[in-house]
Chains A and B, each alone.
Chain A
């Protein structure tokens, strides 16, 4: 890694850390479980590293197999993680119909 790239990477890391702190400290405790599940799905982005390992040019078979396993586990994380986060967040959105119900009762 040449120094310029390294410095750029460290910048990206530091800025992401700073931004992450700002953004995530605003997430209410109510949503901490979906948050964990979501960030976990997002870090499934290591899938793109796995894809390269599994299918890129003239790698030995061993690397391809490692890549295959990595693609599998990372995909489980991405698909499962986003799926389950959505299921949870859907539940937190279910408030509206109840509000309507209350209004109906008041109308009566």
Chain B
């Protein structure tokens, strides 16, 4: 990794100024945390030197929680309280699971609880949301990073499957918030891999990233050119991963051994055996599966490669459709793809390698550790986002929204407003009107997906615009605006143009967790921890305020000339006011002063962007004069 060693003497922030930021790969099977230290990227290990943290959480009576290998060791004996592959439940309702996971949902040896929006899991420590379970994993990684780096983190880049929808992304961000992490960005996993691969190999041209993880499949097509990573198209299957291969083997075992319905712990035991057999078959012609069940029955089977390929062939085939769709959306043929980067542990399976090679008509690229490459790319991006790299040494990342966003219209049809593969951030507006005389309210149903019928799309939110003055049908003008931010998260607003009646929604509450839920979960978790809620809120507001002070001062230094002397001193004064209050123990006062400074700098921020664009254009015309 020679390229990663380059440091920039005199340009990089001094070591003491280096802002500590990490990249976290929150995986279905394993999670990792990585960071940039003195110019090189490292995956951080636990005290035993292990990089991977199994994404398994075990709840014990009395509120104790085990995460990782400790939890894994008990999963067969305590299946109901030991949650594995929780990522498959993130942002998913009961109906979605039955739909997307099929028999897997029923085979999961947990006590799943149907809850509005997202399923929950009943454990001996109470009913837990998948967000809470994920937060436990993130907390361990955060602690690992802070211990290893010797300081508090300014933030983290957390990776998500590119094909995650809005609900799943929001759930991931909520988990981070619950774990006390400031999310610098949600980054798509294949994009993270492309950064790591592209920078290490100085790759130029069009590449496909084939990312088959434990529970999700992504395929992204990117254009890499000097300093720019541009996602052209992305596709995938948010419910296809290595787990499905385990599940197939598990079913095969049950059929072959003619087993009756199993107890939860036997289910888990055989799932573990199935996974071991799958992994063993990557390097061997056959795998022996033996287990002793709690019923006293013995299982002793041999699974050969041929049988394994036969029973999982339809799963392999499921990766090809999305690959084809991504290429088509990108307007490219297979021959125009320069390389196929393989990511995710499940791409170790020879049949996946063969399928990718056959489809793309070239040998896949396997020179990065498929388990680590995502975390490494995320760490590199975190370093850029934290502002640790001087301009010119960093890169530009242009990502897209994976699934179309739309609104329900008459007859249960989805009207597309933001098409898939639109570069983010983006905004689109559409006008709607009333269909009845005297109608004073309009309700909106926001959906995500490619299908024409609303019933086949994912429902994201419902909201209502009230206070439209009574008019004849078709006279009101209601403008609905979709804004997707750089994390791929949607907010929607609606405005009636005659009266200015307005309604807006950050799409969250209808499926995810309301702020109140998060507060409650935070309090719950503090009941069992030494930290207390107030101390944490105070600390978070201080960190945020300090960040704001630093950014404002830097802005005044660089572009102070864009302000009148009065404006300049007003901003300066509010900065000082915030600074003065920083040591106070009242986080509300800090928040008020921060809000005041934010408002005061709004206009300044706009002018700075404008000036920056003008400088970019000026620079370009000099270049074109030379040419």
- The reply to whether chain A is a binding partner of chain B is no
